[in-house]
Structure formats: structure tokens, C-alpha cells
Amino acid sequence: MVPLSERRHRLYTLEIPEVKRGLLLRLQELCEARKDEESAEVAYRTFLRLNINKPGRPKYPVFIWGQVQHYVNKLLDESE
């Protein structure tokens, strides 16, 4: 949980597509190396939050390298 004293960063609408693209590329890099699972999970959860616009607490799937790799590849293929 984020302490109330910690500053929260806001993204402008025009920035979100670039942030999502950067997260996807970072996830691709981490999935290829299969190292630093903690960073990969943080990037994956952040990416999911930017894509899923639902009120309330997010419900994240279990982090599994193969599933994340498949998801990232699918999204990168769609963006080309």
C-alpha cells in the first residue's frame, strides 16, 4: 500500500500510449532474459492497470513467464 505522504504521479491522456508501448518493450526484454521476475511483474501489473479501466481494486492474474510472453507477443504483433 502506498503511504499517504508519497507523491502519486499522474499521466496525461496523450502520454498513456507511449507509456504502454514502453512497458510492452520492457516486458519483452525481461521475458526474453527470464531474469528479474519482480521487475517483470511490476511492469506487467502496471501495463494491465493502464489497459483495464474498471473501478475498484485490480485483480491480477498469477504471474507466469510463459503467459506473459504470449500476451506481450500477441500485443506486439497486433501493433505492427
Q: Is residue 40 part of a domain?
A: yes
Q: Is residue 10 part of a domain?
A: no
Residues 6+ apart with CB under 8 A from 37: 63, 65
Helix axes 65-79, 16-33, angle to 10 degrees: 130
Residue 8 lies in a domain: no
CA distance 5 to 34: 34
Q: How confident is the model at residue 11 (pLDDT cuts 50, 70, 90)?
A: confident
- Report if residue 27 sits inside a domain: yes
Residue 21 burial (CB count, 10 A)? 13
Is residue 6 situated within a structural domain? no
Whether 1 is covered by a domain: the verdict is no
Residue 23 belongs to some domain of the structure = yes
Q: Domain residues for 28?
A: 16-51+60-79
* Nine-digit cell string for 54: 474498471
pLDDT of residue 57: 86
Q: Mind listing the pLDDT tens digit for each residue in 52-79? A: 878 888 889 999 999 999 999 998 888 7
Domain count, the chain: 1
pLDDT at 10 over 90: no
Q: Is the pLDDT of residue 8 over 80?
A: no
Backbone angles phi, psi at 61, to 5 degrees: -70, 160
Tell me whether residue 4 is in a domain: no
Q: Is 53 helix (H, G, I), strand (E, B) or coil?
A: coil
